[in-house]
Amino acid sequence: MSIKIQDLTVTFKNGVTAVNHADLLIPGGIYGLLGENGAGKTTLMRVLTTVLKPTGGNVTIDGMLYSEGNYEKIQKKIGYLPQEIDLYPQLTVRECLEYMGELSGVEKTECKKRIDKYLEKTSLAEHQKKKMRQLSGGMKRRVGLVQALLNEPDFLIVDEPTTGLDPEERIRIRNLLVDFAEDRTVLFSTHVVEDLAATCNQLAVMKKGEFLFAGNVRDLLNAAKGHVWSCHVEEDWMARKLEEKYHISAKQYTDRGMQLRLISERRPGIECEPCEATLEDAYIYMTNEF
């Protein structure tokens, strides 16, 4: 399943243009979406779920145009985990999921089977009798993901799925998404670059409503090649001076001072070693001006 976005624009009533003439092709598999706060990611995802109608441009899903007459068919193909989700606090996890399954039109017996399967995969089986209001933030997030998976959508859109999860659960959810994407399309939006590095081969980087990059992770890393440097300083004031001049992607105290990673168009005028770019370095290189 592929999703084609052409010349997409969303301007809100207050005059803010959140998506600005954007073009993107989301192929099958798991596709990452990265971008700073306010870049337009949620707005784009809301358009893709059909909740929000764009001001201009168009979207097709496997050739089917997003249009009034097709919305119902398109909605059946889509699962969505929004950033903020507060599901029926008075219901138990199981009741809540059964209700959500009913709303998405999944047949009862099949729905029960899927609930069992995904509760197991998200380590929630033992919590299914708890009321939604008794759950921790990370557990609510996982219930949200299960509800998005219940109709086994061809196109799954997840906004920050790993927020609030402990490291083990984060890995489990990432792996679940990768498995789910084997024969489907998953759009994975996050600020956690590490999550994308561990799951996606392809991604898009968004800024101010536009795509600065769309393609292979390898190509993004290559773009930053030769622009990442490591250096060591002995005094704090030296580190502060470097921070004024360069983008610093990491700093760490050592027993002799501080180790810094600098992102710079040219070799910095200090003693330093070139180093291999991580996805985080490449993201900083791509989204900042030098």
Ligand X SMILES: Nc1ncnc2c1ncn2[C@@H]1O[C@H](COP(=O)(O)OP(=O)(O)OP(=O)(O)O)[C@@H](O)[C@H]1O
| Residues at the interface with ligand X (CB under 6 A) | 12, 14, 16, 18, 35, 37-43, 83
Instruction: Give me the least distance between CB of 12 and ligand X, in Å please.
Output: 3
Instruction: Give me the least distance between CB of 212 and ligand X, in Å please.
Output: 13
Q: Which is nearer to ligand X, 15 or 69 (CB)?
A: 15
Q: Which is nearer to ligand X, 47 or 231 (CB)?
A: 47
Instruction: Give me the least distance between CB of 125 and ligand X, in Å please.
Output: 31
Pairing of strands 78-81, 155-159: parallel
Alpha helix ranges (H) inside 28-124: 41-48, 71-77, 93-103, 108-121
Q: N- to C-terminal Cα distance for the chain? A: 38
Q: Which is nearer to ligand X, 39 or 176 (CB)?
A: 39
Contact 143, 173 (CB under 8 A): no
Question: Which residues is 233 bridged to in the sheet?
Answer: 258
Neighbours of 2 (CB within 10 A): 15
Q: Give how far the C-alpha of residue 138 lies from the chain's centroid of Cα atoms, to the nearest Å.
A: 16
Q: Which is nearer to ligand X, 15 or 167 (CB)?
A: 15
Q: Which is nearer to ligand X, 98 or 195 (CB)?
A: 195
Say which residues have a Cβ less than 8 Å from residue 180's Cβ, sequence separation at least 6: 149, 156, 186
H helix or E strand, kind and range, residue 141: helix 137-149
Q: What's the burial of 37, exposed, middle or buried (CB within 10 Å: 0-12/13-18/19+)?
A: exposed
Q: Which is nearer to ligand X, 35 or 79 (CB)?
A: 35
Q: Which is nearer to ligand X, 131 or 207 (CB)?
A: 207
Tokens matching residue 226: 């030769």
CA–CA dist 13, 8 (Å, integer): 17
Instruction: Give me the least distance between CB of 210 and ligand X, in Å please.
Output: 12
